[in-house]
Amino acid sequence: MRAVRCEAHGAPETLVLRDLPDLTARPGQVVVDIHAAALNFPDVLTVADRYQVSTPVPFTPGSEFAGVVREVGDGVTDWSPGDRVMGTRAVGAFAEQIAAAPADLRVVPEGLDLVHAAVFQVTYSTAYHSLVTAGGLRVGEWVVVLGASGGVGSATVDIAHRLGARVLAAASDPRRLELAVRLGADASIDYATEDLKGRIKEITDGGSDLVVDPVGGAYAEQALRAIRWGGRFVSVGFAAGDVPRIPLNLVLLKNVTVRGMELRSWSQQMPEAFAAADAELARLVAEGMRPEVSRTRPLTETAKALADVARRKALGKTVIDVRG
Ligand SMILES: NC(=O)c1ccc[n+]([C@@H]2O[C@H](COP(=O)([O-])OP(=O)(O)OC[C@H]3O[C@@H](n4cnc5c(N)ncnc54)[C@H](OP(=O)(O)O)[C@@H]3O)[C@@H](O)[C@H]2O)c1
């Protein structure tokens, strides 16, 4: 099988394509024929050895994939050859095959092809749990989504709109905001040129009910200051780099609830909430919901594609079409 290999930590351009022996499933493992893999920013950090967990070289990067089960090892009862699956693992997805644990995999919702499935699980589950499980979203509420054109942000706009919220998308340029409006945002703010706090208060007529924040940096406090009394703020990530330090008097005076949502630990701690979310996401897919895929590239171009992610040149989600 072909696999993209990181043989020395560094920039994405140092990745190389190699031929490796086909995988066989050990006891408790599921081997998946990968059809498509997503590019995520943490892949850049893993290759550079700047991620929270260090992966020793050589290894195959790539953390999100979709494909078809090829073989199951002894003791695996919940998956069978031929099942369409999507999955996440720390590494291993930029290859034609991956060996996964059964719990790494989810059923691909009916109607979703494998290219779209490859970018669905992380962004849409994160968005759903931020809005609903952590955020307690109710129909008709104003939701402010920061970084609204990014992977998590665009999924959040999409789901919030479909669940009947009023969505206020915030992002850094008009081209990015167009995507959010196409996905159903009712209003938008260009936070590179507009006053985020003032515009949120103006558009929502006094303050938002909920903020979903995958960006952090200076925007977080501005968005928190524009929440109404009793509103909620869900912290999802820090794409801007800086982890904000929020003055607690803002939280106290307006009785705001601030929550974190970290998908991996939530999936371990709250299996029932996860099963409910998967069912609801499958229902929304059946109604036509699809993640945005802006571009597909073959496995041979993985290094170049990941370099675009590293330099913030990629717009929307790029998928590696492993069989293409
Ligand atoms: N909590 C969880 O379980 C979970 C799950 C998935 C992802 N995350 C985290 O959520 C964050 C967003 O992930 P994503 O997949 O949506 O990323 P993404 O597709 O790259 O989007 C990030 C957005 O952040 C904005 N941004 C602002 N400053 C930035 C900067 N200096 N560099 C890059 N982007 C910047 C960008 O929009 P503008 O240019 O319009 O500002 C961009 O659209 C990441 O920190 C990721 O690690 C958390």
253 pLDDT higher than 80: yes
Closest Cα partner for 100 from 114, 82, 120, 86?
86
The ligand 1 atom at the shortest distance from the C-alpha of residue 40 is 15
Q: Whose CA is nearest to atom 21 of ligand 1?
A: 150
Q: Whose CA is nearest to atom 33 of ligand 1?
A: 239
The ligand 1 atom at the shortest distance from the C-alpha of residue 172 is 40
264 pLDDT higher than 90: no
Strand partners, 95: 3
* Averaged confidence pLDDT in the chain: 95
Of 121, 236, 262, 269, the one to substitute when testing ligand 1's pocket (max ligand atoms within 8 A of C-beta) is: 236
Ligand 1 centroid distance, CA of 49 (Å): 19
Give the torsion sign (CA, 178, 180, 186, 189).
negative
The ligand 1 atom at the shortest distance from the C-alpha of residue 266 is 3
Model confidence at 41, pLDDT cuts 50, 70, 90, reads confident
Pocket of ligand 1 (CB under 6 A): 40-41, 122, 126, 147, 149-153, 171-172, 176, 214-215, 236-241, 261-263, 312
Q: Whose CA is nearest to atom 13 of ligand 1?
A: 152
Give the model confidence (pLDDT) of 117-166 as tens digits: 999 999 999 999 999 999 999 999 999 999 999 889 999 999 999 999 99
What integer is the mean pLDDT of 21-38? 98
Domain 122-265 belongs in CATH node 2.40.30.170: no
Q: Whose CA is nearest to atom 37 of ligand 1?
A: 147
CA distance 267 to 273: 8
CA distance 11 to 307: 7
Query: What is the rounded end-to-end Cα distance, in angstroms, of the chain?
Result: 14
Q: Whose CA is nearest to atom 22 of ligand 1?
A: 150
Q: Mention every residue, 6+ apart, whose C-beta is less than 8 A from residue 238.
A: 215, 216, 217, 244
pLDDT at 317: 86
315 pLDDT higher than 70: no
- The b-or-e profile of 8-20 (16+ CB within 10 A means b, else e) is ebeebeebeeeee
In the chain, where are the structural domains located?
A: 2-119+293-321, 122-265
Please state, for a pLDDT cut of 70, what percent of the chain lies above it.
99
Q: Whose CA is nearest to atom 46 of ligand 1?
A: 237
Query: Any idea which fold 2-119+293-321 has?
Result: Quinone Oxidoreductase; Chain A, domain 1 (3.90.180)
pLDDT at 157: 98
What integer is the mean pLDDT of 20-37? 98
Report yes or no: 106 and 170 within 8 Å, Cβ to Cβ. Answer: no
What integer is the mean pLDDT of 252-263? 96
CA distance 172 to 194: 10
The ligand 1 atom at the shortest distance from the C-alpha of residue 130 is 1
